[in-house]
Structure 1
Amino acid sequence: MSKAGALDLASGVGGKIDKNEVLSAVDQYEKYHVFYGGEEEERKANYSDMVNKYYDLVTSFYEFGWGESFHFAPRWKGESLRESIKRHEHFLALQLGLKPGQKVLDVGCGIGGPLREISKFSSTSVTGLNNNEYQISRGKELNRITGVDKTCNFVKADFMKMPFPDNSFDAVYAIEATCHAPDAHGCYKEIHRVLKPGQCFAAYEWCMTDSFDPNNQEHQKLKAEIEIGDGLPDIRLTGKCLEALKQAGFEVIWEKDLAADSPVPWYLPLDTSHFSLSSFRLTTVGRFITRNMVKTLEYVGLAPKGSQRVQSFLEQAAEGLVGGGKKEIFTPMYFFLARKPLSDNL
């Protein structure tokens, strides 16, 4: 996992946004969301700008607090967070049946933590697709440090309009990334197009579960907290993802909410009532230290103005995620394995 320190966090806030414009970018980002009067349709229409601003603002916080792989994982008792994250990535590679030398696409790859792990685990060549310039530059540097820069690469593009020919990849996966798509069907249709016939697409999706009640105000509040804190235009129900997959032309091999059987709750690292040395920066004490460190760094000018605001909406997201997890109305790991038919009759 990443060993990003305080100065890495400070210098990274805002990504490619000019440091003098970070506060303005925070204002613009927040206005997309319900708590600030934003509407779902506006978020969907401007999803590219919203998601780009989000990842410019939060990537250094993610790396500082979580590591290089920005995702959750089901966890066994006695297993560390780091071990569970790696196992979750290996599980995806095994479900796809990856073989040495295959050409694989990671849709919405972040800074490439899973990409590097899956490439090393399966001896495949992985292309990371990402529309955020800062994350790609960070990912390239980490690829070089890790030594996978000869087999893995990044492409800057929107996953709703991929710059690849039809039937380009032997396998495609997405880890907690296509939830940023304004339209699941459109995103899955593009994935279907670039995947070779007979090959598979696997993903972990962020979803509201069947327990979510849209008429329950507390449920709606938790959903809104997750959306603002995680750069989401909307959070789909699991059934909507399944429906979109089939409409895009995929055969669904199997699907399941992997959070349901996790011996250790997936949200435990974010739960302030839990203390852990291995994920200390996420605990109540760790967050308090980080909050005051960011406040100090911003005050002395080492972190741009607006950094504390970013820290604040990330903590709001954590509360929403823990609340949604405890009530079982939200899951970050609705898994599916889907196959593109050998003959496409669509």
Structure 2
Amino acid sequence: MLLFRYEKYHGYYGGKQEDRDANYTDMVNKYYDLATSFYEFGWGESFHFAHRWKGESLRESIKRHEHFLALQLGLKPGQKVLDVGCGIGGPLREIARFSSTSVTGLNNNEYQISRGKELNRIAGVDKTCDFVKADFMKMPIPDNTFDAVYAIEATCHAPDAYGCYKEIYRVLKPGQCFAAYEWCMTDAFDPNNQEHQKIKAEVEIGDGLPDIRSTTKCLEALKQAGFEIIWEKDLAKESPVPWYEPLDKNNFSLSSFRLTAVGRFFTRNMVKALEFVGLAPKGSLRVQDFLEKAAEGLVEGGKKEIFTPMYFFLVRKPLSDDN
């Protein structure tokens, strides 16, 4: 039943774009209720891609990707930092330990927050890091609260980039920075190309997205929200190892076996068996299926260079806030 309520929002099942935008909170919550356990099993605690060097493991690249973000923000011990759309808090814990900062994770999914709190306790950061259950379009946070804000492949869930960035601008202290990795369609994406549209739709339904914006639209929204652009670049173009390689069925890796074609085959059959005997919720196999479809879309989008999961930007809120 939960799966049906999620699927109804998407074009694959007759859903309309305006309904996806209007009901994004419900849609994203249903998506993560369904998909979080699968993500954690296959990906670990950090649900994101990474710029990756040859000879570097996926896990090493993910940690370095998070450290790079902390360094770009110039984080200093004792600062208060906001992680927008924090998932179960993998990056939150890594960045807090790396920079000796206090990180608050903002998330609107109850299951992910409860899981994140338990992992914080296990990691020993529960005294300095916490979570706020809230919609990042309407944060229950006072103006000028945080010394830095970041988002990792999360604000792509927002139905309106300007509205989301404007809220981030509001809670950030003047003179301080916001950095993010955004999921975007690149300039190579052709909206009139049916194959491009199919790939975009596969990524959207498989990853709980209302609509994937272009890099240009994100940049325009940041400026409209009042931010000063320090620098921005699609870091996927500079990755020596393709970012989508862990999902490519032609790739085999012992270090990320569960993401390979063989590993996914075993996972699918394990889920099928567990659902059959009642140890996995009904609909688990269909969740696995649409995650597989998303993986296919991501790989094709990456190979055709029409999609990037790491459009990076570093922006600053001016010292004089005239907005």
TM-score norm. by structure 1 comes to 0.93
Residue 38 of structure 1, CA deviation: 1.1
- 1:331 match: secondary structure: strand
Alpha-carbon deviations, 1:230-274, whole Å to 9, x = none?
A: 000000000000000000000010000000010000000000000
Question: In the alignment, is residue 288 of structure 1 matched against residue 265 of structure 2?
Answer: yes
Match of 1:67 in 2: 44
Residue 146 of structure 1, CA deviation: 0.3
Alignment of 1:1-346 (within 5 A): 24-346=1-323
The runs of at least 4 aligned residues of structure 1 exceeding 4 Å deviation read none
CA distance in 2, matches of 1:304, 1:208: 34
CA distance in 1, matches of 2:141, 2:262: 46
* Structure 1 unaligned residues grouped into runs of 5+: 1-23
CA distance in 2, matches of 1:274, 1:132: 33
- 1:204 match: secondary structure: strand
Residue 40 of structure 1, CA deviation: 1.1
Letter in 2 for 1:336: F
- 1:72 match: secondary structure: coil
Count of residues paired in the alignment:
323
* Structure 2 unaligned residues grouped into runs of 5+: none
Q: What's the Cα RMSD here?
A: 0.4
- 2:179 match: secondary structure: strand
TM-score norm. by structure 2 comes to 1.00
CA distance in 2, matches of 1:232, 1:31: 13
Alpha-carbon deviations, 1:267-320, whole Å to 9, x = none?
A: 000000000001100111101100000000000000011000000000000000
Alpha-carbon deviations, 1:28-70, whole Å to 9, x = none?
A: 1111111111111110000000000000000000000000000
CA distance in 2, matches of 1:38, 1:92: 36
- 2:104 match: secondary structure: strand
Identical counterparts, % of pairs: 86
Residue 116 of structure 1, CA deviation: 0.1
CA distance in 1, matches of 2:51, 2:142: 35
Letter in 1 for 2:310: M
